[in-house]
Amino acid sequence: MLKTETPSTQHAQLDLYPTDQLVAALVDDQFRAVDAVRLASPQITAAINAALPRIAAGGRLLYVGAGTSGRLGVLDSVELNPTFSWPPERALAILAGGAGAMFTAVEGAEDDVAQGAADLLALLPQGHDVVFLLAASGATPYVLGALRAARGAGALTVGIANNVDAPVATQAQCGIVLDTGTEVISGSTRLKAGTAQKIALNTISSALMVGLHKTYGNLMVDLKPTNAKLILRAVKLTMHATGADEAQAKSVLEQCQFHVKVAIVALLKKITTDQAQALLAGAGGSVRSALAA
């Protein structure tokens, strides 16, 4: 039996726990998700190093999964645009059962190998694309079908699973095993198995964005200010990076559609936003390189 499906020996009387003990059991078990990701750090590092040159060359991030794993892939893909101004067409997710499965469980969809392959091929994968195959069990047929199709198309495959020797991890070029073990509620991989996958995805996509110069130091300088909160954040980030006051930061940001990178370079080098934009373009989007130019 897979570890993720094996009943926990620690909480056989879970339904008898008082609420405080139940909360403690559920929360404390989540720490094992962090431990599992930490142990997989070398595999995660290898995946990032393999993916970065492909993405820098114009590749896309493609996510494939079923159930909780698939929904986590969707979540990672959609958050890259507001956080890093990453083009939505370069972060796509497919989910067993289609888009509706994001909100309603579609039973049996995960068992269709051919549909997984067809859905992946519909995205027209190419050599520079990076495909994340997500499955807690590591053997979901839909995901394995997509994996084989992705490899056949020459894309880089990154398999993320929660069981040792899982096919999704062993058959991908980059396998990541998040060995989270048994769940407090037997087989409920929406718990720490899902948490570990979320941490791994956050780590991978964030590291890729840092490598693509979407940050300046640890500042999120390539966000897309699509609401009042993000506009205020853009102002605060610009102030922090440059020492400008609020009025000055906002004035320069208004001249460049609130593009924080451009405002920082313009303010620190005392140049126009058009000149700052040109410097950034010549520096591959790196604020540090543009400031040194």
The verdict on 134 and 198 lying in the same domain is yes
- The two structure tokens encoding residue 118: 């067809």
Q: How far apart are CA 55 and CA 132, in angstroms?
A: 13
Listed residue (199, 206, 217) closest to 260, CA to CA: 217
Cα-trace Rg, the chain: 22
Look at residue 105 in the predicted model and tell me its pLDDT: 85
Look at residue 175 in the predicted model and tell me its pLDDT: 98
CA dihedral over 124, 127, 132, 133, signed as positive or negative = positive
Question: Residue 277 — φ and ψ, nearest 5°?
Answer: -60, -40
User: Which residues, 6 or more positions from 244, have their beta carbon under 8 angstroms from its beta carbon?
Assistant: 238, 252, 267
The verdict on 135 and 25 lying in the same domain is yes
Look at residue 282 in the predicted model and tell me its pLDDT: 97
Contact 202, 83 (CB under 8 A): no
- In the listed set 182, 211, 240, which residue is the last one of a domain according to the structure? 211
The verdict on 165 and 268 lying in the same domain is no
User: Which residues, 6 or more positions from 256, have their beta carbon under 8 angstroms from its beta carbon?
Assistant: 262, 263, 266, 273, 276, 277
Q: How far apart are CA 281 and CA 274, in angstroms?
A: 11
The verdict on 117 and 250 lying in the same domain is no
**Would you call 223 helix, strand, or coil by DSSP?**
coil
Look at residue 108 in the predicted model and tell me its pLDDT: 85
Q: How far apart are CA 16 and CA 123, in angstroms?
A: 49
CB atoms within 10 A of CB 103: 7
The verdict on 30 and 159 lying in the same domain is yes
The verdict on 118 and 47 lying in the same domain is yes
- In the listed set 176, 211, 246, which residue is the last one of a domain according to the structure? 211
Question: Which of the residues are catalytic?
Answer: 79, 110
Look at residue 106 in the predicted model and tell me its pLDDT: 86
pLDDT tens per residue across all 293 residues of the chain? 899 999 999 999 999 999 999 999 999 999 999 999 999 999 999 999 999 999 999 999 999 999 999 999 999 999 999 999 999 999 999 999 999 999 998 878 999 999 999 999 999 999 999 999 999 999 999 999 999 999 999 999 999 999 999 999 999 999 999 999 999 999 999 999 999 999 999 999 999 999 999 999 999 999 989 899 999 999 999 999 999 999 999 999 999 999 999 999 999 999 999 999 999 999 999 999 999 99
What's the first-to-final CA gap in the chain, in angstroms? 59
The verdict on 187 and 272 lying in the same domain is no
Look at residue 88 in the predicted model and tell me its pLDDT: 97
CB atoms within 10 A of CB 245: 10
The verdict on 54 and 117 lying in the same domain is yes
User: Which residues, 6 or more positions from 110, have their beta carbon under 8 angstroms from its beta carbon?
Assistant: 66, 67, 96, 97, 140, 141, 142, 143
Residues paired with residue 61 on neighbouring β-strands, in sequence order: 91, 130
Task: Could you list the beta-strand ranges (E) of 25-69.
Answer: 61-65
Q: How far apart are CA 279 and CA 293, in angstroms?
A: 7
Task: Domain count for the chain, please give it.
Answer: 2
The verdict on 45 and 99 lying in the same domain is yes
CATH of the domain at 207: 3.40.50.10490
- In the listed set 190, 211, 232, which residue is the last one of a domain according to the structure? 211
Look at residue 107 in the predicted model and tell me its pLDDT: 79
User: Pairing between strand 215-216 and 219-220?
Assistant: antiparallel
Domain membership of residue 203 as a residue range: 3-211
CATH of the domain at 270: 1.10.8.1080
The verdict on 186 and 246 lying in the same domain is no
The predicted model scores a pTM of: 0.95
